[in-house]
DNA sequence: AGGAGTTTGTGAACGCGGGAACAAAATGGA
DNA sequence: TCCATTTTGTTCCCGCGTTCACAAACTCCT
């Protein structure tokens, strides 16, 4: 129905679908590494831990990249999803706050292999600035603007203590960063047009604790889990 | 309508609400630390970064803990939410996989301060076993069962490489762990009754990248026949 | 005491996402 | 060529979650 050329970026993809595309991408990479060239929606859905109908609907938002009666070409679909997400190119990223978590993030190889390149590590603590982490020298937080301009950075990662998070976010936004991944246990407010995603380690544990408590409390039934695999 | 006593655990709280309760808890703690004794739903909603109507509806699933015309008693509400989530007691947790991320998790003070106690660090690598991390000696993965029985552990954290994740999960489930927090970039399948939550660092970045790409691609411009080639 | 002003708790409308079921399209065999 | 088989792409329906809007309940001032 909709005329969609291969460079048509005007289609609207539901948020829920966008959040699953990286999972499909990972599953496809795993399949490709196993030497599998073609797969059905059922196969891929199993590998990704979702329902096959949901998978097909998700993929249909991207276009018709499968062949009825046959399935999907693993490499082709992988490329199409990568292109849609935008990870065929490398995204430069800065990490602010080189504590325990920042350390781990700087060393995380999954970033580079999935389309991201850490161009700088920043910290406000003079005791940390100058240290070498993951082969990179930690620079003072005030260098943020220079680094962002030099590498045209659009994505920033906050791994500072909670109290510093809002300040860092404000500074990032002022300099032109438009996407923030926040690991600090704090709500950061940003103006319209800036995306923030948050990852809170203890919140995830608390959610598990809630369900765990209910299991223990006898209760009536199993608390429907989110992605419980079959 | 529903008769709800303070110890009634049969009420069903929507998943979306459960996921926000820890955020409210954090916001309340922040308010309490600022010396604020009472707050309105508007205040708390702002602090938590949500809509006040949503906040009130969420809290209404727990009971009527506010006072009309006045607001909420910060400490009282905080206790009620903590009790509902189940973090008035301490939950013992084991962390498997003491690489970069496991290291950071072991050192993360937010766990202990929010109701969780890391009772053991485990790794399958003999080169890591025996090291002291966060004041705890890393033990061999095979000690899992002994530790889980000794401390009555219900929650396990997986911070291993992707290939090991499913094995570790299977082992955890076999031993009786019923809640898993998975940091490995892999889908883990578990039987019914076991809860799994996953945190994938690069997936979060990929979601940001998708939106970033769309911002760059001519944004919301009217979808002319030709995809904006600007 | 009574009314004005606040703020909570909730009923109802609405929109999004999930899942089943089916039509459309491709392959392969007779 | 034509039919059976397979698997995708899509439509329809349902349930959950979000939001609006308002009645109920409490305080404070006169």
Which chain A residue has the Cα nearest residue B85? A210
Percentage above 70 pLDDT, chain B: 90
- Residue A221 banded pLDDT, cuts 50, 70, 90: very low
Report the pLDDT value the prediction gives residue A218, as an integer from 0 to 100. Answer: 65
Which residues, including other chains, have CB under 8 Å from residue A179's CB and lie 6 or more apart? Answer: A154, A155, A156, A194, A195, A196, B208, B209, B211, B212
CA dihedral A47, A48, A49, A53 (to 10 degrees): -100
Q: Answer whether B190 sits within 8 Å of A229, measured CB to CB.
A: yes
- pLDDT above 80 for B171: yes
Top pLDDT among B39 and B217 is at B39
DSSP string of A132-188? EETTEE-EEGGGHHHHHHHHT--EEEE-S-HHHHHHHHHHHHHHT--EEEE-SSS--
- SS percent in chain B: helix, strand, coil, step 5: 45, 15, 40
Q: Which domains does chain A have, with CATH numbers?
A: 15-85 (1.10.10.10), 91-203 (3.40.50.720)
The mean pLDDT of B19-34, rounded to a whole number, is 98
What residues of A are in contact with residue B207 (Cβ under 8 Å)?
Answer: 18-19, 22, 197
Report the pLDDT value the prediction gives residue A30, as an integer from 0 to 100. Answer: 97
**Range scoring the smallest mean pLDDT among A1-15, A147-161, A189-203, B167-181:** A1-15
- pLDDT above 60 for A73: yes
Cβ of A109 under 8 Å from any chain B Cβ?
no
Q: Give me the residues paired with residue B158 across strands.
A: B96, B182
Q: What value does the mean pLDDT of chain A take?
A: 91
Which chain A residue has the Cα nearest residue B203? A22
- pLDDT above 90 for A3: no
Which residues, including other chains, have CB under 8 Å from residue A172's CB and lie 6 or more apart? Answer: A96, A144, A156, A158, A180
Q: Give me the residues paired with residue B71 across strands.
A: B67
- Residue A48 banded pLDDT, cuts 50, 70, 90: very high
The mean pLDDT of B48-59, rounded to a whole number, is 98
DSSP string of B198-221? E--HHHHHHHHHHHHHHHHTTTT-
Report the pLDDT value the prediction gives residue A216, as an integer from 0 to 100. Answer: 86
| C-beta separation of B56 from B81 below 8 A | no
Q: How far apart are CA A69 and CA A71, in angstroms?
A: 6
| C-beta separation of B41 from B69 below 8 A | no
Per-residue pLDDT of B68-82, as tens digits, reads: 999 999 999 999 999
Distance from CA of B119 to the nearest CA of A (A): 15
Report the pLDDT value the prediction gives residue A229, as an integer from 0 to 100. Answer: 33
Q: How far apart are CA A72 and CA A44, in angstroms?
A: 9
Cβ of B87 under 8 Å from any chain A Cβ?
yes
What residues of B are in contact with residue A203 (Cβ under 8 Å)?
Answer: 19, 22-23, 26
Q: Which nucleotides of D are covered by protein (CB under 7 A)?
A: 5-11, 16-21, 24-27
Residue B42 CA distance to nucleotide D30 C1' (Å): 29
Per-residue pLDDT of A93-126, as tens digits, reads: 999 999 999 999 999 999 999 999 999 999 999 9
Residue A167 CA distance to nucleotide C13 C1' (Å): 40
| C-beta separation of B203 from B179 below 8 A | no
Residue B80 CA distance to nucleotide D15 C1' (Å): 29
* Pair type for strands B195-198 and B38-39: unpaired
| C-beta separation of A120 from A156 below 8 A | no
Q: How far apart are CA B136 and CA B106, in angstroms?
A: 9
Task: Give yes or no for CB of B55 within 7 Å of strand C.
Answer: no
| C-beta separation of B153 from B147 below 8 A | yes
Per-residue pLDDT of B96-123, as tens digits, reads: 999 999 999 999 999 999 999 999 999 9
Report the pLDDT value the prediction gives residue B211, as an integer from 0 to 100. Answer: 97
- pLDDT above 50 for A7: no
Report the pLDDT value the prediction gives residue A98, as an integer from 0 to 100. Answer: 98
Q: How far apart are CA B67 and CA B74, in angstroms?
A: 12
Per-residue pLDDT of B30-39, as tens digits, reads: 999 999 999 9
Per-residue pLDDT of A145-178, as tens digits, reads: 999 999 999 999 999 999 999 999 999 999 999 9
Cβ of A192 under 8 Å from any chain B Cβ?
no
- pLDDT above 60 for B58: yes
Residue B10 CA distance to nucleotide D24 C1' (Å): 26
Nucleotide nearest to B40 (CA to C1'): C7
Interhelix angle for A52-62 vs A74-85, to 10°? 60
Which residues, including other chains, have CB under 8 Å from residue A190's CB and lie 6 or more apart? Answer: A169, A173, A180, A196
Report the pLDDT value the prediction gives residue B218, as an integer from 0 to 100. Answer: 62
Distance from CA of B170 to the nearest CA of A (A): 13
Residue A15 CA distance to nucleotide D10 C1' (Å): 19
Q: Chain-centre distance of CA B214, in angstroms?
A: 30
- pLDDT above 70 for A220: no
The mean pLDDT of A17-22, rounded to a whole number, is 98
The mean pLDDT of B138-165, rounded to a whole number, is 98
- Distances, alpha carbon B44 to alpha carbons A29, B59, B60, B86, in Å: 43, 11, 14, 21
Q: How far apart are CA A152 and CA A174, in angstroms?
A: 14
Report the pLDDT value the prediction gives residue B217, as an integer from 0 to 100. Answer: 80
Per-residue pLDDT of A177-187, as tens digits, reads: 999 999 999 99
Looking up tokens 């970039």, which residue turns up?
B185
Top pLDDT among A223 and B46 is at B46
Q: Where does residue B97 fall: left (phi above 0), alpha (psi -120 to 50 degrees), or beta otherwise?
A: left
Q: Answer whether A155 sits within 8 Å of B86, measured CB to CB.
A: no
- Distances, alpha carbon B155 to alpha carbons A163, A207, B173, B194, in Å: 29, 11, 10, 10
- The two tokens of residue B33 are 């630390």
- pLDDT above 50 for A223: no
Q: Which of B104, B181, B228 sits opposite A205 (nearest CB)?
A: B181
Q: How far apart are CA A120 and CA A143, in angstroms?
A: 10
- pLDDT above 70 for B220: no
Closest residue to D27 (CA to C1') is: B69
């Amino acid at each position: 129905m909709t005329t969609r050329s291969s460079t048509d970026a005007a289609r609207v993809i539901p948020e829920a679908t966008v959040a699953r595309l990286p999972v499909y991408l990972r599953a496809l990479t795993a399949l490709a590494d196993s030497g599998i060239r073609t797969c059905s929606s059922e196969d891929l859905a199993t590998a990704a831990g979702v329902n096959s109908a949901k998978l097909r609907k998700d993929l249909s938002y991207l276009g018709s990249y499968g062949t009825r009666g046959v399935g999907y070409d693993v490499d082709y679909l992988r490329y199409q999803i990568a292109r849609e997400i935008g990870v065929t190119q490398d995204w430069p990223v800065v990490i602010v706050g080189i504590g325990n978590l920042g350390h781990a993030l700087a060393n995380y190889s999954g970033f580079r292999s999935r389309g991201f390149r850490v161009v700088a590590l920043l910290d406000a603590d003079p005791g940390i600035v100058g240290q070498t982490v993951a082969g990179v020298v930690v620079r003072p937080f005030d260098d943020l603007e220079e680094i962002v301009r030099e590498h045209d950075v659009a994505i920033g990662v906050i791994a500072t203590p909670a109290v510093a998070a809002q300040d860092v976010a404000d500074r990032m936004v002022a300099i032109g960063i438009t996407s923030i991944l926040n690991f600090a246990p704090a709500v950061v407010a940003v103006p319209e047009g800036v995306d923030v995603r948050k990852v809170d380690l203890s919140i995830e544990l608390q959610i598990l604790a809630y369900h765990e408590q209910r299991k223990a409390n006898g209760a009536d039934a199993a608390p429907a889990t989110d992605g419980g695999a079959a």
